[in-house]
Amino acid sequence: MFCPAISYYALLFAFFLSQATAWIHNTPNVYLIRHGEKSGLSKDHGLNSEGELRAECLRNVFGANSTYDIKYILAPKFNKEGYHRRSYDTVHPLATDLGLPIDTSCKRNKLGCLVKRVKAYRGPGNILISWRHSKIGAIASKLGVDEVPDYPDERFDLIWTMVHPYENVTSVESENCPGLDAQSVLRVQV
């Protein structure tokens, strides 16, 4: 005999179980990238023309049709003078395309804040962090990586991938932006 009340509660239970399972099993990958190229002038806090090209390229690298499935983007807080703005400018075109805000609530040197944001994220998809290259190793370390690879000073194209529980940098790949990055095999010790 069919009982609508039992069916309703069974469906309700199944729904809440599926939501709890999704929440428990959402273990996003974290992708760390360096901000785009800069001019080298101490008073210039923006991207140079190559950096702007890289920001445009990232629209394809991490865009909606990519396999990265980016749903949360972080960059350091910048002040009214524009200090630390490069990381934001690097991912802004991508964020616009994806319809995502860029979380700039953490200051550049407050990596504990950044790690809290990553670990608190419960949404769908994966996380992209655009930051200063001299902090990328420290970010990986604070997330749990024991043996952090070096980030070469001369490179602007590396994507560090970390899979939950973030104990290793599982891959280092080039963004392969045409006209900016060497189209050769990348060899990085991980």
What separation in angstroms does the CA of 104 have from each of 47, 130, 172, 190? 18, 10, 25, 29
From 112, 154, 113, 119, select the one nearest 133 (Cα to Cα).
Answer: 154
For strands 30-34 and 158-162, give the pairing: antiparallel
The predicted pLDDT at position 56 comes to 98
Q: What are phi and psi of 123, to 5 degrees?
A: -80, -175
Query: What value, to the nearest 5°, has the Cα angle with vertex 57 and ends 103 and 37?
Result: 75
The predicted pLDDT at position 173 comes to 96
Q: Give Cα 117 distance to the centre of its chain.
A: 12
The predicted pLDDT at position 7 comes to 54
Domains of the chain (ranges; CATH) run 27-174 (3.40.50.1240)
* Long-range contacts (CB closer than 8 Å, 24 or more residues apart) made by 42-46: 45/78, 45/81, 45/82, 45/83, 45/84, 45/85, 45/86, 46/82, 46/85, 46/86, 46/89
Q: Give Cα 47 distance to the centre of its chain.
A: 19
How far is the C-alpha of 18 from the C-alpha of 54, rounded, in Å?
A: 39
The predicted pLDDT at position 92 comes to 98
The predicted pLDDT at position 23 comes to 44
The predicted pLDDT at position 41 comes to 74
The predicted pLDDT at position 150 comes to 93
The predicted pLDDT at position 68 comes to 98
Q: Which helix (H) or strand (E) holds 33?
A: strand 30-34
Q: What are phi and psi of 26, to 5 degrees?
A: -75, 95
Low-confidence spans in the chain with pLDDT less than 50: 11-12, 14-24, 185
How far is the C-alpha of 13 from the C-alpha of 7, rounded, in Å?
A: 10
Q: What is the largest CA-CA distance in the chain?
A: 79
